[in-house]
Copies of this chain bind each other. A is one copy, B any other.
């Protein structure tokens, strides 16, 4: 009797691949949330799945901060508003008008805020794979964020990634270790709408390009 037989690798089939493509196509950066709460256990489940992402040297540099305290949420929202006003001043004329009309975050409505940091001083992984490409630690955290995004969408949850923030200010508001660098500030919640196309395409800010123009053969 072999009690330690390894689990059998899965054999993914066409129906699964089709649904996976649906998931890629319908994932969106969501800024319009319904007020319905999101279970804390569901967020923890998503974090557990995110940690299955690859990481350089198996360094697992991802650090997750759930942000529930109203005072901290308010300070994050205030930071976004200040940074967004500042960004607006970079645009002129019609583009400025369009920028001002865009909804770029759902921080107020989103029932769940999740900040994701990279521990830039982790010794896990012993530096393997980072020497010539030091960005790999941060990239590993982005892989976890991408994984979390897909897992959320597969559960009917929308996610938005807010980058119009001062990362140092956010780290201060959340009182995290000084070695932690903000990679992603995420809003999670049930979406008001579902779309196949990006909101910034629909709003006329930036069209999607044909990917074949981005491929080079060597």
A-side interface residues toward B, CB under 8 Å?
A: 6-7, 9-12, 16-17, 19-29, 44, 47-54, 56-60, 62-69, 72, 83, 86-87, 90-91, 95, 99, 104, 124-133, 135-136, 138-139, 142-143, 145-147, 149-151, 153-156, 161, 163-167, 174-176, 182-184, 194, 196, 198, 200-201, 205-209, 211, 214-218
Are B211 and A51 in contact (CB-based, < 8 A)? yes
Closest 8 pairs (CB-CB, A-B): A51-B211, A9-B194, A142-B142, A58-B206, A146-B146, A24-B52, A58-B200, A133-B163
Are B16 and A19 in contact (CB-based, < 8 A)? yes
Q: Which residue of B lies closest to A147 (CB)?
A: B24
Are A66 and B217 in contact (CB-based, < 8 A)? yes
Q: Which of B10, B124, B130, B215 contacts A163 (CB 8 A)?
A: B130
Q: Which of B10, B135, B174, B206 contacts A57 (CB 8 A)?
A: B206
Are B83 and A132 in contact (CB-based, < 8 A)? yes
